[in-house]
Amino acid sequence: MKYEQLAQEIVKNVGGKENINSLTHCITRLRFKLKDESKANTDVLKKMNGVVTVVKSGGQYQVVIGNHVPEVYADVVKVAGLGADVQRDEQEEKMKPFDKFIDIISGVFQPTLGVLCATGMIKGLNAILIALGLLVDTDSTYIILNAIGDCLFNFFPVFLGFTAAKKFKMNQFTAMTIGAAMVYPAITGLAGTTVDFCGIPVVMPMSSYQSTVVPIILAVYIASKVEKFFKKVVPDVVKTFIVPFATLLVSVPVTFMAIGPVATWASNLLGAATLAVYNFSPVLAGLVIGGFWQVFVMFGLHWGLVPLAMNNLSVLGYDPLLATSVPVCFAQTGVVMAILLKTKDQKLKSLSIPAVISGFFGVTEPAIYGITLPRKKPFTLSCIAGAVAGAIVGFFGSKGYTMGGLGVFAIPAYINPAGIDKGFYGMILSMVVGLVLGFALAFFNKVDEEVEETKEEATQTAIQEVKKAEETLKEALNKDAAEKVAKREVIVSPLKGQVKKLSDIEDPVFSSGALGKGLAINPTEGKVIAPADGTVTTFFPTGHAIAITTDKGAEVLMHVGMDTVQLQGKHFSPKVKQGAKVKAGDVLLEFDIHAINEAGYSTVTPIIITNTANYLDVIETDQTEVSYRDELLTAI
């Protein structure tokens, strides 16, 4: 970590991790919400190398860092052991519902997938041994292997209770206890019956809660809210045991009386619906899932299918959906094999060999991100081959009977417990077709020429750079011209309004000049324009602060208002994106002056050159009022 030492000192002097309620950052500051600000060593922080100053404002303890605050923020989060939780609080508020759903699914299921695949592979091995007649289901070897393969899935609510608790931020052992109650033998024995709890009827699901996924996730979500309530009302001295006692006493009965039956009904309906779509046209389903599977994986959308597959396994005993994605890795591997044979580029060849090996075992990230996606056409060809292979799976009706491994390790999961059937042969055929078709499409297309074209483009770029260097050298020979370029840079006014000295504004960080020299403008119009030709290097998500690096090297920060970061983007309308190239006068931002003032915030806007140290001096305009594009600052 680049700023690890600084981060450690900051955490220590704000009172330690236990004193931090929340942490965010804006364009220059770490914004802490501390439990007790008196525990922070403000004087020590102010004198610390790497800290500009400390400001207490708006209920926040603000440690001013400067332009590199994002890097310091990341290291503070790691050093304090805050993990992703602090960042997630900010991000989840802004997430769209579908994005939030994907985030929850990935957060709950991802930690289990490795061991889930491992146990599935063991079940697959058992299936092979049974199919070959090497074992029978009464052998002790079979029973032990089956116990290893079945244990995770049979007690899935316990494991998902743990991961869901981490996602919903509650005590993980309390959540595991809820999951354990759902699979408790006496409860499992009540499957399909109607019982009562304190006189209230409880309908138990037909297939028990073993192997289910939706009920425990909903149960833990509700329990997290219950636990949060009791944490607020229970005295600290007895919280350790009273909070879990009360949480379990409320959550478990509610799970059995309401959450479980409703979630089970919804799960059954969902499984039936997805199966109905598949039954409508298995070939079409395979074509779509197989063709777009790699795209789904890249954007994390595949997590939406994982719980459906698990639900189908628990309700139906098999799943046809994920089956259509299995041969896709072979399609990708076939494309890379063709590139390996065709290319003359030794570096590309050295990348392709391990990508092919890992591809056969279902790990295609090296192939996708290192080889096919950067060249575009190979990736498209792999998607085409994957679509055809997926359609074959749909045509043969291949089904998975357990959550197995990836690549060749997935094969055992598609053996029907009743014996090898056409679905199994269809899966093998789809893998072969995906591999061969991917290879053929790439081999007989000019993929290798595209690699050579990349080289040619690089050569042309190099030639252009040499020409630019020659032109620069010629210009440098004219000393007068070179000196004129280097002598001064004019920054024009990005706003219209009254000019104020930095020392006259309320914010001590800007007024002290700690972040650089400049001026402030009290705007009369809600518009910010580019003060010079350059690149938007930072555009804070809330829209209140913009930094531009001019083509001549000045780093200009425009901070609209004081503490306006707390408006969370309200009343700000960005007109360009971070990284955009702009010309002087281009509109960067529009904002509602009246609404911001009504919300209790000033719109006085500091405009400073943050790399002032790179200049001999920064001369300020002597005008008391400016309009757009009037000369404001001159850097010498």
Residues in the chain: 636
Q: Which of 25, 26, 302, 571 is catalytic?
A: 26
CA–CA dist 620, 608 (Å, integer) = 10
Q: Find the helix packing angle between 377-396 and 422-443, rounded to 10°.
A: 160
Report residue 349 as tokens.
Answer: 């060849």
Phi/psi at 398 (5° precision): -65, 140
CA–CA dist 197, 318 (Å, integer) = 34
CA–CA dist 418, 88 (Å, integer) = 46
Residue 240: half-sphere exposure toward Cβ, Cα within 13 Å:
1
Residue tagged 């498209």 (tokens):
380
Report residue 189 as tokens.
Answer: 């024995």
Query: How many degrees, rounded to 5, is the angle at CA 517 between CA 513 and CA 519?
Result: 100
CA–CA dist 455, 343 (Å, integer) = 12
Outline where 169-327 has alpha helix (H): 172-182, 185-188, 214-233, 239-254, 260-280, 282-298, 306-315
Report residue 38 as tokens.
Answer: 């008196």
Residue tagged 């997590």 (tokens):
303
CA–CA dist 172, 161 (Å, integer) = 7
- Yes or no: say if 588 and 494 are a contact pair by the CB < 8 Å rule: yes
Q: Which of 25, 302, 544, 559 is catalytic?
A: 559
CA–CA dist 604, 561 (Å, integer) = 5
Quote the DSSP letter at residue 368.
I
- Yes or no: say if 515 and 509 are a contact pair by the CB < 8 Å rule: yes
CA–CA dist 446, 451 (Å, integer) = 9
Q: Which pairing describes strands 497-501 and 517-523: parallel, antiparallel, or unpaired?
A: antiparallel
- Yes or no: say if 24 and 540 are a contact pair by the CB < 8 Å rule: no
Say whether 415 sits in a helix, a strand or coil. Answer: coil
Q: For residue 629, is it left (φ>0), alpha (ψ between -120 and 50) or beta?
A: left
In which element (H, E) is residue 195 found? strand 194-197
Name residues whose C-beta falls within 8 Å of residue 347's C-beta, 6 or more positions apart in sequence.
none
Query: How many degrees, rounded to 5, is the angle at CA 151 between CA 146 and CA 156?
Result: 145
Say whether 24 sits in a helix, a strand or coil. Answer: strand
Residue 26 known to be catalytic:
yes
Report residue 600 as tokens.
Answer: 């209790």
CA–CA dist 371, 343 (Å, integer) = 12
Which residues participate in catalysis according to the annotation?
26, 559
